[in-house]
Amino acid sequence: MIKGFAPAKVNLALHVTGQRADGLHLLDSLVCFADVGDEVSVTPSAQFTLSVEGADGLAAGDDNLVLKAARCFGANAGARIRLNKKLPVAAGLGGGSADAACTLRLLSKLWQLDLPAAADILALGADVPVCLTGRSARMQGIGEAITPLENMPPFAAVLVNPGVAVPTQSVFNSLKSKDNSPLNPIPNSENPADWIAYISMLRNDLEVPALQIAPVIDRVLERLGSSERCAIARMSGSGASCFGLFETREAAQLSAQKIRALEPDWWVVDCWLGGSAHT
């Protein structure tokens, strides 16, 4: 058995800069990874099987992204894949893409094969290539253009999901402006204060349409934003998960405790964001 870690992906900013003729949206996003996530393991087997633990309503059928990733190799081999879900489903944290990327890494090692072609990996989803890197990056285009950000420092953070699934396609369909400005120039600094100031000037263009679908997101942002020493509160991806960046890990831990007490039905974790994800 080979085990791997599929970290939560957080969009610190997500600008929608256009839409192609084929309907795919062009993005410019600041992406980093958390030290919380799902767990994947693979074991040699005569056929493909997938078992899922820890997630109600997540099917292990043929359309599961993990199995789609496994088939990208075109290998005449099987594997028993086990997915232990710790991240909420359809949450804007890239859980499915992270699981697929982790599966690709593990099967490449198990079978001693090169990773599938870049086009096949991108076809799995826009977030899969950046999840495969597992590092802080600027993601552009339809997900194929990835620039590592070696100078981005780690941030103490709180991730919150109110338990409401938000369909990504519905959010994009509700987006009124699809030709927005790209990210500002990336800071040439490793100073957390410089990055906080920079991220504060950015935005998530999907936040407004997501709020129309799931108004509870506004309450999530209020809970985070009103926490002591919270520097930024913003939605990640297409929602409904949001993040808060904090001055210290202790402040993040205290915020998470208070939000859990106020909203016991929500998924709330404090974590580190940034750096290289554990694989």
Looking at the annotation, which residues are catalytic?
9, 127
Q: Hey, what are 258's tokens? A: 């208070």
Compute the distance between CA of residue 85 and CA of residue 65 in angstroms, rounded to an integer.
Answer: 13
In SS3 terms, the chain reads as CEEEEEEEEEEEEEEEEEECCCCCEEEEEEEEEEEEEEEEEEEEECCEEEEEECCCCCCCCCCCHHHHHHHCCCCCCEEEEEEECCCCCCCCCCHHHHHHHHHHHHHHHHHCCCCCCHHHHHHCCCCHHHHHHCECEEEEECCCEEEECCCCCCEEEEEEECCCCCCHHHHHHHCCCCCCCCCCCCCCCCCHHHHHHHHHCCCECCHHHHHHHCCHHHHHHHHHHCCCCEEEEEECCCCCCEEEEECCHHHHHHHHHHHHHHCCCCEEEEEEECCECCC
Compute the distance between CA of residue 143 and CA of residue 44 in angstroms, rounded to an integer.
Answer: 31
Contact of 58 with 52, CB cutoff 8 Å: yes
Q: Hey, what are 74's tokens? A: 């075109």
